[in-house]
Amino acid sequence: MDESGRRHEVFIELRQRLQSGLLIMRNDVAHSPTEVKVSSSSSSSSTESSLLIQTPRELRRVTLPPGVSVVPGSCQPTPSGDDGAGEEGLHFRLRLDVKQQAEWRGSVIERLQVQRSYGFLCQACGACIQEKRVFRRVLPLPSGNWNALVGDWCCHPDPFANLKLHPRPEDCLTGDTYFLLAGDDSSNQALTINPRAAPETTATNHSQDSDKPRPVHTGTSVVSCKKCSAMLGEALTRDVFKFYITEVVETEGDGITNDITRLEFVEKTVSARLVELSSAQSMFRFSLQTPSGKAAVLLWLLNTDTLVAWFPEKPVVSGGNGPLIPLGDGRGDEEHPSRHAVSAVKVLYLPCGATNAPSSHRELISAWEKDISVHPLTLPETTCQEVVQLLQTSTSCLPPSLRSMNSYQVAYMRR
């Protein structure tokens, strides 16, 4: 969907767990609640139902996932002045009937299974970096701040400090944001190993800290795609590779599907991983950082049961994700393609790189840095920048009343 950066005329947030929803409509779409008719329709041929929003000029349809529907007649305008309504437009509340929550795709780390054949591709160019791998074991590594926790709990030096957990040829070891694989013939041909670990040299980060020397992982090398030079991970030894989940795509069997944009891939991969870590380990606050340990953005996972749908400022002319709706009663003279309500996570965030950040932000960042319940997540520096870009684009498109909460900015990441 090429609509990044376009503000939303109509924005809908549905909470499946709370069985409620919020609809925000800009003043230029409708001036008064009496001009808006919100109804639900269900299809006789499928379990999908839709939310229909009729305004003086247009009819908009939002397709809901199976098992989710709007309670008929439940959509009510909130009084002007409540929850930011008023200047930015009309606010409506509605109730949902949720028989089953929308399904979503887990990250590669949740998807990898034993005794199945996988290939791995460079996400940037599609080059095959490992082909036909069948794992006998897929095992999680100790979590990212394992060493810090051991250090806090042990009165003697960390007994695991020098323990190297490396995969055997038929193993896949998974971390928070990466997996470890043993190399094979295809990887030897498709990968470039740079023996000098210098992943930060191409950074365009203007942080005041960027000139300071930073601890760089010793004993590791950068692994790049030989075809397009994209950085994919690190070589822990000549034969053991660490691939970041945001840089590599897995394919099962012979199927190769890499038809989403780079940013959409990053968005869905990172959001899926946030959900998985929060549900498995009750983590909600994350510090996304570069391999050299520099924090890029603080992320607070607020809720994971959200469905969002939006209609951007200009009508989508082609390439919509649904058929045009026939003009029913002749009221509307312009039609939007229907939109799907998609699963998303809602996050609060604070970018760490801004030199002009207010002091309250710097205090929050420094408090998070000291807090052991904040979970570090490492991704390549360029990917960290892409995540910040995604979050800021999401925020800028939201209705103004939704863009910030306390000292944090608010964004939605699709799953």
- Residues that bind Zn ion in the complex, under the rule CB under 5 A: 122, 124-125, 127, 225, 227-228, 230
Cβ 187 to Zn ion, closest distance in Å? 13
Spatial CA neighbour of 205 closest among 372, 346, 72, 385: 385
Residue 280 CB: number of other CB atoms within 10 A?
Answer: 11
Cβ 189 to Zn ion, closest distance in Å? 13
Cβ proximity to Zn ion: between 111 and 227 the closer is: 227
- Cβ atoms of residues 160 and 168 within 8 Å: no
Cβ proximity to Zn ion: between 122 and 398 the closer is: 122
Cβ 304 to Zn ion, closest distance in Å? 32
Cβ 317 to Zn ion, closest distance in Å? 33
Cβ 49 to Zn ion, closest distance in Å? 42
Cβ proximity to Zn ion: between 266 and 347 the closer is: 266
Cβ 241 to Zn ion, closest distance in Å? 14
**Cβ within 8 Å of residue 367, ≥6 positions away:** none
Q: Give dist(CA 399, CA 92) in Å, integer.
A: 13
Cβ proximity to Zn ion: between 12 and 225 the closer is: 225
Spatial CA neighbour of 111 closest among 251, 232, 247: 251
- Helix, strand, coil percentages for the chain (3-state, nearest 5): 20, 35, 45
Spatial CA neighbour of 365 closest among 298, 284, 289: 298
- Cβ atoms of residues 247 and 124 within 8 Å: yes
Cβ 228 to Zn ion, closest distance in Å? 3
What one-character DSSP code corresponds to residue 264?
H
Bridge partners of 342, per DSSP, are: 308
Cβ proximity to Zn ion: between 232 and 277 the closer is: 232
Cβ proximity to Zn ion: between 134 and 228 the closer is: 228
Q: Give dist(CA 54, CA 35) in Å, integer.
A: 8
Cβ proximity to Zn ion: between 230 and 357 the closer is: 230
Cβ 123 to Zn ion, closest distance in Å? 8
- Cβ atoms of residues 178 and 245 within 8 Å: yes
Q: List phi, psi (to 5°) of 324.
A: -70, 150
The one-letter amino acid at 31: H
What one-character DSSP code corresponds to residue 222?
E
**Cβ within 8 Å of residue 175, ≥6 positions away:** 140, 141, 144, 242
The pairing of beta strand 76-77 with beta strand 68-70: unpaired
Cβ proximity to Zn ion: between 383 and 394 the closer is: 383
Q: Give dist(CA 269, CA 83) in Å, integer.
A: 32
Element housing 85 (H / E): none
Cβ 305 to Zn ion, closest distance in Å? 36
Cβ proximity to Zn ion: between 122 and 413 the closer is: 122
